[in-house]
A and B are shown apart, each in its own frame.
Chain A
Amino acid sequence: MSTTVSSPRPGTPRHAGAPDNPAAMSAKPVSWKTPVLLAAFALIALVFFGFLAPNRNASFGISTGEDFFQLPALDINAFAGGIVLSALLVGLAAYSIYLKTKGRPAPGWLTVTFIVLFVAAFLIWVVGGARTPSISLAGLIAGSVTLAVPLVFGSLSGVLCERVGVVNIAIEGQLLGGAFTAAIVASMTQNPFIGLLAAAVAGALVSMVLALFSIKYLVNQIIVGVVLNVLVSGVTGFLFSTVMQEDSDRYNSPPGLDAIEIPVLSSIPIIGPILFRQTLVGYLMYIAVLVVWVGLFKTRWGLRVRAVGEHPQAADTLGINVNATRFWNVTLGGAVAGIGGSFFTLVAIDSFTKEISGGRGFIALAALIFGRWNPIGAFFAALLFGFADNLQSIVTIIGTPVPSQFMAMLPYLVTVLAVAGLVGKSRGPAASGIPYVKG
């Protein structure tokens, strides 16, 4: 999906003074979008999280009972904390405006820091205004990582497919297929590891249909993706109703994957549970992110993949088999998403239900775009969305004035802002979505 954001499109009102000469387009001026948006959000933070914050303490528990040394809970005055953080936000926004006047774009760290500070200010405000102004920060973060696992796998699948030039709207279907297969195979073999493998195979199969139709039959990739989601939903729903519900002991009671604790390291506060107290799927997530990143940007394979995704003709001229590369990459992506799907039935819930993936494939798609088609970026975007997801349930428990529905809406809103180019530039692989016909 070439969400080309800043290149002028036909019909888009051009920036004042931009010449109509295509050669001059590349040197177009830095957009006002980011500074303006940052300033707007900084003002929101200043008013709501700063001036309108309640004058009481928000308490963040840092240590859990299992840690080997205990840190005291962090008590922050919501009013003071809000003012300080929003002042920092205003400063960052002012800096980006200053850079803009010098004709320079806001650097990446600025946007990232802004997001982190904004989230922190928001958190202090939410907790400070709650009925019970106390949450466990460790639990919040650990929960976010857990919820982010399928999102990370899904967005990695998206990265693998889009980098090679195939739009993958079928992430949802791949997750769902993986979840179903993991449940049924793990139940029948009573072995979660075989279930995990089967989930990868199922995801790959879904992906192969996508690859077959979009590469061989040149069917529009978005159509195939949309239809595949419906197909997988129908097949899994059908088999769930006919097979699984008939004999759920035999077909729908998969043994779960247990968390593997790495001794000593897992007792480090905050970081321990995140990095060293995960299930196999959780560890695989970290490995997959690193492997995909290294693979894409540091190996010959990755260079080829990106060449196919950016300029298939050039890649073809150099002797790369474009369509074969696409086919196998898309298949690999499906396998990755399938593993992510197994998270639902082998880790989160110990049985399959209809539509268990619940639209997370689309959030994964959002994470992919917000992470700018980069595995590491997608990982952090997925974490952010997992955080929003987790915060949504916590907000309901501690009782804050913010409706939980708005928290649930957040990932989608953020994505709209991202694709609309309001949060920096987000551009996908050039040839993504375009079938390649040789000659």
Chain B
Amino acid sequence: MSDKHPPKHADGGHGTTPSGRHHHTTPAEEETAAVVSVDTAGGAMEPSAVPATAQSGQLPGGPDTLLRRIFTGSGMVSVLAVLLALIIGGLLIASTDQRVATTAGYFLARPTDFLAAVWDAATRSYIALFQGSVFNPRGNSVAAQFAPFMETLTIATPLITAGLGVALAFRAGLFNIGAQGQIIVAGIFAAWVGFALHLPFGLHLLLVLVAGIAGGALWGGLVGVLKARTGAHEVILTIMFNYIALYFLRYLLNTPAFQRPGESNPISPILDPTAVYPQILGTQYRLHLGFILAIAATVLVWWLLNRSTVGFEFRAVGANPKAAQTAGINVSRSTILVMAIAGGLAGMSGVAQVAGTEKVLTDGVAATYGFDAITVALLGRSTPWGTFAAGLLFGAFRAGAVQMQIQTGTPIDIVLVVQSLIVLFIAAPPLVRAIFGMNPRRKKPARAAKSRQAATTGGAA
């Protein structure tokens, strides 16, 4: 869409986007821009570095009918991508099922048996997944029935905030693979404040939060500084920083300052009761204040990206760093700032882990949240609310997978498969459309690809 409109202002350069143009426009235009921005979830129209190829939601040229937009738009592709991933995951589950193997033996004699077994194996697992993540009809009380959903929200909390960090960096054209390390460093900072200092209620928790965010921001910002000063690629830097953080944590957990007294395992003391997030819906659920903060963070990132000058600069740098530089934006400052904020957001996940869910620091503090955050951000097309929704979905997968493994014996790893397939398919809409036989115009993809090339190379080069 932004390709169609000529840039209105010289200072906007290539990166001018409808939602970013509001700085210089009339209120009416601003409103339209806002609607468009929300409507298309922003991501579909930003020439951001990341879901560049996922942007073929809009067909270049020609009027889009509403119907076509629904069926070929990015929303539909997302739904179909999830569906496709679930189908493939189901086939994988079925392929290792005992009864499927047995019925396959007499497939030619009675194929219905085989197909029924396949259907049964896949649906049984998915029903267990659903019951473990959203609603369990066998619960004794309403509270128990909704317990899985609360668990989903709990697990989604670190995914959302870390995902926001990754998404924000994506929008500025940076690949922040380092959420894992940022969570770890934040966890170290937050946990230390939580168990080593003894402060009154309220102040203590606030300090834990601030320390965690500062830790994450430091670790992320360091990558930003190195990238801005030396031009080193942030992907390599963040991957290496993840490992450095992990080994540093392992070292710390073996030092007297961090190891729980009288404990030979690498585990920290339990955080003070004044330092942990209160459980917001009563003690029967693990859901804690971190979730509310995750919602707040989502709003904040939305505001930052779509309504603030800094966010506009981020997106301009993401769209075309050279143009942004020419337009007078300080790209170095932008890079450092965006990595620091991204690190701070990932830091919130670290706090959610040590002060919310776990209440101690171990070397598994980040679990795989940092890596999952990348898929969350990609699924959410690097938009704040998209990331929020994707975080909920993957939180549900994670929560449900535990139940699924208990009930049906399907290993948790299937979630990784489904998760990564979703992201792969979402990143390649032409593939999804081809599979579902709805490639609307044969001639167009080439053109779309060409116009997209600039966006793809913009941030990743």
In the bound complex, how far is the Cα of B383 from the Cα of A377, in angstroms? 41
Chain B residues positioned under 8 Å from A7 (CB to CB): 231
Q: A217-B428, A406-B251, A435-B453 are in contact. Are A3 and B331 (CB under 8 A)?
A: no
Answer yes or no: A242 CB below 8 A from chain B CBs. Answer: yes
B96 lies within 8 A of A239 (CB): yes
Closest to A217 in B: B428
| CA of A227 to CA of B427, assembled, Å | 10
CB distance from B437 to the nearest CB of A (A): 17
Chain B 401-435: CB-based contact to A (< 8 A → 1; otherwise 0): 00000000011011111111101100110110000
Does A434 contact B230, Cβ atoms closer than 8 Å?
no
Given the interface pairs A415-B240, A434-B461, the reply to whether A238 lies near B53 with Cβ below 8 Å is: no
Q: Which of B49, B236, B333, B378 meets A419, CB within 8 Å?
A: B236
A416 and B231 contact, Cβ closer than 8 Å, known pairs A238-B417, A409-B248:
no
- Contact of A10 with B322 at beta-carbon distance under 8 Å, contacts A230-B420, A237-B411 already known: yes
Given known pairs A233-B416, A412-B240, A434-B461, the reply for A217 and B322 (CB within 8 Å) is no
Which listed residue (B243, B254, B417, B419) contacts A412, Cβ 8 A? Answer: B243
Interface contact B416-A230, CB-CB below 8 Å:
yes
Which residues from chain A contact B250 at a C-beta distance below 8 Å?
405
* Bound complex: CA A238 to CA B420 (Å): 14
Chain B contacts of A221 at CB under 8 A? 460
Q: Which residues of A contact B415 (CB under 8 A)?
A: 234
Q: Tell me the smallest distance from the CB of A256 to a CB of chain B, in Å.
A: 26
**Given the complex, which residues of A lie within 8 Å of B240, measured CB to CB?**
362, 366, 412-413, 415-416, 419
Interface size class of A (residues with CB under 8 A): 35 or more
- State the total of A-B contacts with C-beta under 8 angstroms: 196
CB-CB under 8 A from A233, the residues of chain B are 413, 416
One of A3, A226, A416 near B241 (C-beta < 8 A):
A416
CB of A2 within 8 A of CB of B431, answer no
Beta-carbon contact of B243 and A227 below 8 Å? no
Q: Are the C-beta atoms of A213 and B416 separated by less than 8 Å?
A: no
Which residue of chain B has the shortest Cβ distance to A226 in the bound complex? B374
Asked if A220 is at the interface (CB within 8 A of a chain B CB), the reply is yes
Q: How far is the CB of A162 from chain B (nearest CB, A)?
A: 12
Across the interface, A227 reaches (CB within 8 A) one of B96, B235, B424, namely B424
Q: A2-B233, A5-B232, A366-B240 are in contact. Are A420 and B419 (CB under 8 A)?
A: no
A242:B237 contact, CB within 8 angstroms: no
CA distance A299 to B413 in the complex (A): 44
B184 CB-CB contact with A under 8 Å: no
Does A369 make an interface contact (CB < 8 A)? yes
The residues of B that contact A13 with a CB separation of less than 8 Å are 229, 332
Q: For B228, what are the chain A residues with a Cβ–Cβ distance below 8 Å?
A: 11-12
| Complex contact B378–A223 (CB within 8 A) | yes
Q: B413–A416 contact, CB under 8 A?
A: no
Q: Identify B247's interface contact among A3, A10, A405, CB under 8 A.
A: A405
Task: Tell me which residues across on chain B come within 8 A of A437, comparing CB atoms.
Answer: 449-450, 453
Is the CB of B1 closer than 8 A to any CB of chain A?
Answer: no
Please determine whether B325 and A11 come into contact, CB atoms closer than 8 angstroms.
Answer: yes
Distance of B404 from chain A, by nearest CB (Å): 12
Q: When the two chains form their complex, are residues B96 and A362 in contact, meaning their CB atoms are under 8 A apart?
A: no
B239 sits at the interface (CB 8 A)? yes
Interface size on B, residues (CB 8 A): 67
* Residue among A241, A412, A419 making CB contact with B244, cutoff 8 Å: A412
**Complex: chain A residue closest to B450, CB-CB:** A437
Residues of A near B251 (CB, < 8 A) are 403, 405-406
How far apart are the CA atoms of A242 and B417 in the complex, in Å? 14
Q: In the complex, what distance in Å separates the CA atom of A415 from the CA atom of B240?
A: 7
B232 contacts which chain A residues (CB < 8 A)? 3, 5, 416, 419-421
A241–B409 Cα distance when bound, in Å, is 9
Name the A residues within 8 Å of B53 (CB-CB).
Answer: 217-220
The yes or no answer to A224 lying at the interface (CB within 8 A) is yes
Query: Can you name the residue of chain B whose Cβ is closest to the Cβ of A225?
Result: B235
| Residue of B175, B230, B431, B453 with most chain A CB atoms under a 10 A cut-off | B230
Say yes or no for A315: interface residue by CB 8 A criterion.
no
Beta-carbon contacts of B217-256 to A below 8 Å, as 1s and 0s? 0000000001011111101110111011001101100100
- Assess whether A9 is interfacial by the CB under 8 Å rule: yes
Q: Kindly report which residue of chain B lies nearest to residue A354, judged by CB atoms.
A: B413
> Does residue B302 face the partner (Cβ distance < 8 Å to A)?
no
**In the complex, what distance in Å separates the CA atom of A403 from the CA atom of B254?**
9
Contacts of A6 in B (CB 8 A): 231
Complex formed: what's the CA distance from A415 to B449 in Å?
35
Q: Which residues of B contact A11 (CB under 8 A)?
A: 228, 321, 325, 330-335
Q: Is B92 an interface residue (CB 8 A)?
A: yes
Q: Is the CB of B417 within 8 A of A223?
A: no
A235: contacting residue among B50, B417, B460, CB under 8 A: B417
Interface membership of A268, Cβ < 8 A: no
Q: Is the CB of B231 within 8 A of A12?
A: yes
- Chain A: minimal CB distance from B243 (Å): 4
Whether the Cβ atoms of A230 and B239 lie closer than 8 Å is: no
Decide yes or no whether A169 CB sits under 8 A from chain B.
Answer: yes
Nearest opposing residue in chain A for B49, CB measure = A220
Residue of B nearest to A231 (CB): B420
Q: Report Cα–Cα, A184/B458, bound state, in Å.
A: 42
Can you offer 13 A-B residue contacts whose CB atoms are under 8 A? Answer: A5-B230, A11-B325, A218-B52, A220-B49, A223-B50, A228-B424, A230-B375, A231-B417, A235-B417, A237-B411, A412-B243, A412-B247, A433-B461
Chain A residues with a Cβ under 8 A of chain B: 1-7, 9-13, 167, 169, 209, 213, 217-224, 226-228, 230-231, 233-235, 237-243, 354, 359, 362, 365-366, 369, 403, 405-406, 408-409, 412-413, 415-416, 419-422, 433-435, 437, 439
Extra inter-chain contacts (7) besides given A230-B375, A231-B421, CB under 8 Å: A218-B456, A224-B424, A226-B177, A230-B371, A230-B416, A234-B416, A419-B233
9 pairs of A and B residues whose beta carbons are closest in the complex? A234-B416, A11-B331, A237-B413, A241-B411, A11-B332, A10-B325, A405-B251, A217-B428, A231-B420
